[in-house]
């Protein structure tokens, strides 16, 4: 039986630190594989302001 993201979209308790996440492809879409038992790496994307926005 294959795992579906839509069968169990929420994996973690709201009261505990996240411990599992769905495997995602390069575009951020679920791959259909079993959930990964580790925290998802955090990423920070900073917006670079243009000269007009910075003023």
8-22 confidence digits (pLDDT tens): 788 878 888 878 878
pLDDT reported for residue 10: 81
CB atoms within 10 A of CB 23: 14
**Average predicted confidence (pLDDT) for the chain:** 76
Domain residues for 3? 1-55
Long-range contacts of 10-19 (CB under 8 A, 24+ apart): 11/35
Q: What is the rounded CA–CA span in Å between residue 44 and residue 5?
A: 24
Longest dimension (CA), the chain: 57
**Mean pLDDT, rounded, for 19-39:** 79
Based on the structure, what is the number of domains in the chain?
A: 1
Q: Name the percent of the chain lying above pLDDT 90.
A: 0
pTM confidence score: 0.46
Assess whether pLDDT exceeds 50 at residue 36. Answer: yes
């Amino acid at each position: 039986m294959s795992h579906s993201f839509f069968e169990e979209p929420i994996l973690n308790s709201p009261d505990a630190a996240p411990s599992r996440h769905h495997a995602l492809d390069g575009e951020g879409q679920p791959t259909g594989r079993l959930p990964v038992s580790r925290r998802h790496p955090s990423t920070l994307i900073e917006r670079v302001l243009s000269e007009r926005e910075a003023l």
